[in-house]
Amino acid sequence: MLASYAVRVESSLGRRYPEPPHPYRDDFQRDRDRIIHARAFRRLENKTQVFTQRLSDHFRTRLTHTIEVAQISRTIAAALHLNESLVETLALVHDIGHPPFGHSGEQALHVAMQAHGESFDHNLHALRIVEYFEQRYASHPGLNLTFEVREGIIKHSHDYAPADYPELSEYLLDQRPPLEAQLIDHTDEIAYNTADLDDGYEARLIKLDDIRREVPIFDRYFREAEREFPGVRDKLKFNEALKRMLNHLVTDLIDHTALRILNSGVQSVEEIRHYPERLAAFSPATDQARAEAKQFLNSNLYHSESLRPQKADGEKIVHDLFGYWIEHPSGLPASYQRQMEKETPARVICDYIAGMTDNYILDLHKKLIEKGATK
């Protein structure tokens, strides 16, 4: 039973290249399956979330993070009577445009592109992936996803000004995305705030006492776990507190979004699109708790001295290879050299690097840069 403001697949604006309907899967389900079977999705298994696999293979990768976002997103979509298939599809595709080495790789690519008067945006790169780079069908380029999925790829996390992005005009930049897309930015943050506390504690890069002191929502639930399980070791009480923190964030997002929908009076997707602000949101108190957790991770994990060498290595590798191919474009694969007939060299090199896994870019750096320097 879908809510009146949920996206209905039968009302979809369709695909760029029309296709006959499938006998037992609707269009959003087909989009989900196309993403799961895409090469770019498989490559997420070997792309850094926070910790490179050189440190340990126990921590989240970009792929396992994506799966966690999809699980959380489906739970919330079901509670709000939204289109679960569309929400799941958007969750599965939301990070497909990320380069190797996590946010340090993304920052390095952006800096390299700025030197050539361009930029790198992982959402816009994700759109390029599904529109052009995934070549699986004889009848059309790309994955030929529905409009609603393509729109959600670029609009799920923030709004793009129509005047600044005329090339995206078909995606209704002057309107809000549907609730199914609005949820993804929040479920992404729920997933990484809790998972990164987990991985950071497991890696012994952040301490339990520091988390409890600076993340009040976690401390609240850790105190509950201490009262209920006084004889249990700290790691299990940590797990219990983190589970309850995640549940709190999910429940609050469901309840407060439902309240905002009710108070807004919206009854349709069109009213969602034309509402003055996004309706998916945490309550003010929980949003403050979310922000405190995010600030703690920024200060104590993402920008920590312990991870600085890892980040610096990633940035240097991206910088070195970008510069190498700017000077030696003939060293690019033939398919990327052909792209230069219609794209700038910087954009083609950026596309090539962004698609790489951590392992592949490390091997290329050794082959083209490190070995070359020793000759």
Are 316 and 348 contacting, i.e. CB atoms less than 8 angstroms apart? no
Are residues 298 and 361 part of one domain?
no
Residue 343 backbone zone (phi > 0: left; psi -120 to 50: alpha; other: beta): beta
* pLDDT per residue as tens digits for the range 116-152: 999 999 999 999 999 999 999 999 999 999 999 999 9
CA distance 282 to 290: 9
In a domain, 282, yes or no: yes
In a domain, 2, yes or no: no
Q: Which of 282, 308, 334 is the last residue of a domain?
A: 308
Are residues 202 and 84 part of one domain?
yes
Are residues 194 and 335 part of one domain?
no
Encoded amino acid at 66, one letter: T
Q: Which of 286, 308, 330 is the last residue of a domain?
A: 308
Are residues 315 and 287 part of one domain?
no
Q: What is the CA radius of gyration of the chain?
A: 22
What is the domain-level CATH number for residue 82?
Answer: 1.10.3210.10
* pLDDT per residue as tens digits for the range 253-273: 999 999 999 999 999 999 999
Are residues 279 and 324 part of one domain?
no
CA distance 256 to 183: 12
Are residues 284 and 347 part of one domain?
no
Are residues 118 and 64 part of one domain?
yes
Are residues 241 and 213 part of one domain?
yes
Are residues 335 and 222 part of one domain?
no
CA distance 282 to 299: 23
Task: Please indicate whether residue 199 or residue 374 has the higher confidence score (pLDDT).
Answer: 199
- Residue-level pLDDT at 10: 96
Domain count within the chain: 2
In a domain, 355, yes or no: yes
Tokens at 115, concatenated: 């030197």
Q: Which of 120, 78, 107, 55 is nearest to 310 (CA)?
A: 55
Are residues 149 and 37 part of one domain?
yes
In a domain, 8, yes or no: no
CA distance 316 to 242: 35
Are residues 263 and 144 part of one domain?
yes
Tokens at 223, concatenated: 């105190």
pTM for this predicted structure = 0.94
* pLDDT per residue as tens digits for the range 1-31: 999 999 999 999 999 999 999 999 999 999 9
Q: Which of 320, 373, 369, 370 is nearest to 349 (CA)?
A: 320
214: pLDDT confidence band, cut at 50, 70 and 90? very high
Between helix 345-354 and helix 102-114 the angle, nearest 10°, is 180
In a domain, 17, yes or no: no
CA distance 15 to 289: 40
Are residues 203 and 148 part of one domain?
yes
CA distance 178 to 181: 6
- Residue-level pLDDT at 306: 81
- Residue-level pLDDT at 351: 96
Q: Is the pLDDT of residue 373 over 80?
A: no
Tokens at 125, concatenated: 């790169």
Domain that holds residue 176: 27-308
Q: Which of 57, 65, 59 is nearest to 96 (CA)?
A: 65
- Name, in order, each residue with C-beta under 8 angstroms of 154's C-beta and a sequence gap of 6 or more: 123, 124, 126, 127, 160, 168, 171
In a domain, 225, yes or no: yes
Q: Which of 291, 308, 325 is the last residue of a domain?
A: 308
* pLDDT per residue as tens digits for the range 342-366: 999 999 999 999 999 999 999 999 9
Q: Which of 108, 104, 81, 96 is nearest to 38 (CA)?
A: 96
CA distance 38 to 27: 16
